[in-house]
Structure 1
Amino acid sequence: MKIIVPMAGRGSRLRPHTLTVPKPLIPIAGKPIVHRLVEDIAKVLDEKIDEVAFVIGEDFGEQVEKDLKGIAESLGAKGTIYYQDKALGTGHAIMCAKDSLSGPAVIAYADTLFKADFTLDKEADGVIWVKQVENPSAYGVVKLNEKRQITDLVEKPKDFVSDLAVIGIYYFKDVAVLKNELQEVLDKNLLRGGEYQINDGIEAMKSKGMKFVPGKVDEWMDCGNKNVTVETNGRMLNFLHKDGEKLISDSVKIKDSEITEPCFIGEDVELINAKIGPNVSVGNGTKIENSTIKNSLIQNESVIKNAKLDNAMIGNHAKFDGEFTQISIGDYSVLE
């Protein structure tokens, strides 16, 4: 089994945090988004992952490539790096990894997290992960027949078609079939809004009698902008806390401080006269003094003083000393 992860977009809606780090490497509850994504997919599949192929931007750098290969290796898989030089859509991104498109595979776009507990239907030619939503007109949705097979993919329907939204994760029994259909899309220059779309490949497969079924998830968490990323961090902390996962490092130095769980507290964090939590992640080596922080995400090696933070997001190596509450400052920023 392979996992293909298109992730070349920087994530402009999450700036300034994505000016220095690609969005899929932003940590949620102490672990990069893409790391959590591939781990959760591996749990659902419950079988050996042979390869994880990442499609990234050419400017992401050697350290990002090393980190991504390390994520694959943590699953006992080979890590492969491909590049997408132009933002030409979901279908184009997948075809950038065409040398890895063979055999059973999951394709997952790295800006979403999920929680699911279901058995993968390996008799189907494909599975499209979906989540029931209240406002389906804002999403791409799937329409089902009486056999609960997918008959249509509809993008942002004005009239009600279905409330099952596509979350951007797909299984293909043989992803080489999708590759062949997407090659046709590229050869015929079938553009939608100036982009090549995965849906055109799936529709071509369905037109040839291939069966697609839905895989429903219990939770779908977005990381599109600062507010929803902070919210997703809190939701993930609650899931991990209920599962009994150890979230607070033994190396945390605590003086006249209290932690209200759930919280992730990384290695060598210093808490001095601080109240932390609930729903707070604090990265390695960060120092927090004379502060109250809840519902926030703080990365590595930062210094926070005299703060009262709620719904805040602070990058790596930042310094903050002030009265603002709902702040969002990136790496190496200073606000004193």
Structure 2
Amino acid sequence: MIKAVILIGGPMKGTRFRPLSLELPKPLFPVAGFPMVYHHIEACSQVPDLKEILLIGFYQPNEALTRFIANAQSEFSVHIRYLQEFTALGTAGGLYHFRDQILGGNPEYFFVLNSDVCCDFPLQEMLTFHRGRGNGGHFTIMATEATRQQALNYGCIVENKDTHEVLHYVEKPETFISKLINAGIYLFSPAIFKHIKVVFQRNQETTDHEMNSVNRYDLYHPTKEVIRLEQDIFAPLAGTGELYVYFTTRFWSQIKSAGAAIYANRHYLNIYHRTHPDRLSNNGEKKPKIVGDVFIHPTAVVHHSATLGPNVTVGKNVTIGAGVRVRESMILEGSVLEDHCCILYSIIAWNGVVGNWARVEGTPNDPNPNKPFAKLDIPELFSDEGKLSPSITVIGSNVHIPGEVIVLNSVVLPHKELGRSCKNQIML
């Protein structure tokens, strides 16, 4: 029997995802028509012998989360539970806190997935690789390849290329270590808990003064309860013969910032060709013109003279008027795009209104929509100098953009009514 654990974090995380995370938990943000964590659950449900999925985080269990879990459990016929942490416990602290629930039923292995990972989830292939390593008391990290510069922002892995054993692991190194990076998906045997227990007991024996001294500059490791898989578990396990790396060349990225959701949307739509071709819209009589991959929710109303695509998602109860052009964008539930407006490289959040002949536009890293982005080539909202970078335009919920207004490379917070055009601004 196998289980899966999805780490969904909590409201103190995901600040780079604002203003979109102001309305609902980040893991429920819709990408390619479905909540972000829905793609994880769907992939887990397809693994043979996987009997239970546990979501671990410190969100308050609200109506949206409860309803999502009930619907997913019904759709995929797999038992799903949400386990709420009393505070942020770190990527390993949450596992240890709920170890009894994870080990209930005596699973042979369990997957651990970070909810902000976006990929096509080769879980079955990873399981086959893991079982091929011999005895069941070892652990596997999924990894992918980055550029030398990108790798500095991730956990870097040095492996034995013959055995795929992890020889060295460093989280976000200051100098180049390896182009092989941690992809945030793991496969553990229950033996992982003996290693977490060692760290937990060591933390408990550390005095408050020592803890404060060690963590004075580490905002992500402030208490004795916090245990991090990456620094506290993987780094010591490297070179012991117990930690292995499964390398994937398939699509992978993270959804850290709001703009990154646009790139995840593109790739999930592309994956639908293989997994769910019925979700992709087609051209036809009295239908809008479709260019490339487009998802339109059945409840959306789109004028036949509109042109959508490539890489567009239109959410529930959206209304799109005559002559509208939408490209490389996400239009969320309840929004209205009035006649002849143009939306490019942007996210229009819930219940937004874009007026006649208005233009909302972001600046992509790569202006060619037919050329796939590099797996990790996702723009950040701010440059190193703290200035707003050319990136995706994000319009918060319940924002009204009047007719003939232009919004370029900007972020607009919720419940605003713009009175003028703006460029490279954050509209508070």
Q: For this structure pair, what is the TM-score category when the shorter chain's length is used for normalisation? A: 0.7 to 0.9
The 5-angstrom pairing of residues 157-196 of structure 1 reads: 157-174=173-190, 175-184=192-201, 186-188=203-205, 193-194=218-219, 195=221, 196=227
User: In the alignment, which residue of structure 1 is the partner of 2:359?
Assistant: 323
The amino acid across from 2:294 in the alignment is C
Q: What is the SS of the residue equivalent to 2:360?
A: coil
Query: How far apart in 1 are the matches of 2:354 and 2:199?
Result: 48
- Using the TM superposition, give the Cα deviation of residue 164 of structure 1 relative to its aligned residue in structure 2, in angstroms: 0.9
268, 286, 306: which one aligns with 2:299? 268
SS at 1:239 equivalent = helix
The answer for the alignment partner of 2:22 in structure 1 is 19
Distance 1:98 1:139 in 2: 27
RMSD, aligned α-carbons: 2.7
1:40-51 paired onto structure 2 within 5 Å: 40-43=43-46, 46-51=47-52
Closer, same or farther in 2 for the Cα pair 1:74/1:177, shift >3 Å?
A: farther
Assess if the C-alpha contact under 8 Å between 2:156 and 2:170 holds in 1: yes
Which stretch of the first structure deviates more once superposed, 221-230 or 53-62?
Answer: 53-62
C-alpha contact (below 8 Å) 1:280/1:296 kept by paired residues: yes
Higher relative contact order (CA 8 A, sep 6+): 1
Structure with higher Rg: it is: 2
Q: SS state of the match for residue 129, structure 1?
A: strand
For residue 172 of structure 1, report the CA deviation from its aligned partner. Answer: 0.4
Paired amino acid for 2:25: P
Describe how 1:29-48 pairs up with structure 2 within 5 A.
Answer: 29-43=32-46, 46-48=47-49
- Matched to 2:359, the amino acid is E
Q: Alignment length, in residue pairs?
A: 332
1:166 partner amino acid: N
Return the offset for 1:304. 1.1
1:234 corresponds to which of 231, 255, 266: 266
SS in 2 for 1:18: helix
Instruction: Identify if the C-alpha distance between structure 1 residues 49 and 256 changes in structure 2 by more than 3 Å, giving closer, same or farther.
Output: closer
Which residue in 2 is equivalent to 1:225? 257
| Contact 1:22 1:60 survives alignment (8 Å) | no
Tell me what 2:157 maps to: 142
For 2:244, the equivalent position in structure 1 comes to 213
Separation of aligned partners in 1, 2:121 and 2:59: 33
Report the Cα offset of residue 182 of structure 1. 4.8
**CA distance in 2: counterparts of 1:220 and 1:243, whole angstroms:** 16
> Is the CA contact (8 Å cut-off) linking 2:325 and 2:343 kept in structure 1?
yes
More off after superposition, 310-319 vs 184-193: 184-193
C-alpha displacement at 1:56, in angstroms?
2.7
Q: Give the direction of change, closer, same or farther, for the CA distance of 1:111–1:188 in structure 2 (3 Å limit).
A: farther
In structure 2, the CA distance between the partners of 1:88 and 1:284, relative to structure 1 (3 Å rule), is same
Q: Distance in 1 between matches of 2:285 and 2:398?
A: 25
- The equivalent position to 1:310 in structure 2, one of 341, 344, 349, is 344
- Distance, in Å, in 1 between the alignment partners of 2:335 and 2:189 is 45
2:203 and 2:130 map into 1 onto residues whose CA distance is: 29
Q: Pick one of 258, 269, 284 that aligns with 2:316.
A: 284
Write the deviation string for residues 144-169 of structure 1: whole angstroms up to 9, x where unpaired. Answer: 12422012211223343221110111
Q: What's 2:117 paired with?
A: 112
Partner of 2:398: 332
**What are the residue-to-residue correspondences of 1:85-100 with 2, within 5 Å?**
85-100=86-101
CA contact (8 A) 2:353 2:398 kept: yes
TM-score w.r.t. length of structure 1: 0.88
Q: Normalising by structure 2, report the TM-score.
A: 0.70
SS of the equivalent of 1:214 reads strand
State whether structure 2 residue 167 is matched by structure 1 residue 151: yes
Q: Does 1:301 align with 2:334?
A: yes
Q: Residues 165-199 of structure 1: CA distance to partner in whole angstroms, max 9, x if unpaired? A: 10111110225445534533543457762413113
Give the match for residue 146 of structure 2: 133
Q: Is the 8 A contact 1:137 1:156 kept in 2?
A: yes
Q: Which moved more, 1:168-177 or 1:67-76?
A: 67-76
